[in-house]
Structure 1
Amino acid sequence: MKTITRMLAGAALATAISTQGYAGNVEVLHYWTSGSEAEALSVLKEMMESEGHHWTDFAVSGGGGETAMTVLKARAISGNPPRLP
């Protein structure tokens, strides 16, 4: 769990740094749906939105990420990956 937390926090930080100077829409596909995971994710969402970005949440529950990866692959193959600014 700590590794996942660090990876997500790092990704959010990298996104925040790379998008400084303009606001954008970010669609976040994740599987953090349990209580403490959802709370941690809401902190990251608040940080992004405080910088002027719009966060579109795309939660996929179940399977420790396996289901989310299946959904991500299907969206990428169909030409509809999560949006970045």
Structure 2
Amino acid sequence: MDYRFDPDQDYVVVDIETTGAWSSGDRITEIGAVKVRNHQVVDEWQSLVNPQRPIPAKIVELTGITNQMVRDAPCSTKSRTVLWRSWVTASSSPTT
């Protein structure tokens, strides 16, 4: 495989915040991404997600995401994933 940098190839860096580190019980609270082209961030996208459970105080301290912030956010990461995929493949501004 050839892993050389292609400046004409966009790539996306994703960050996910959760209610903790256990995949079996913790939930996503935020999805964020940046699109990079030729070493420059050309677009950004983020969405809060309601985890449908309280966010532990230690996680609030670590991420700054509070229960109040996610209270009215969409509960489903599935709907957010559809929007995120459309953003990744689009060449224009993100959809939030």
TM-score scaled by length of structure 1 = 0.30
Structure with more relative contact order (C-alpha pairs < 8 Å, separation 6 or more): 1
Indicate the structure with greater helix content: 1
Please identify the structure whose Cα radius of gyration is greater.
2
The structure with the largest strand share of the pair is 2
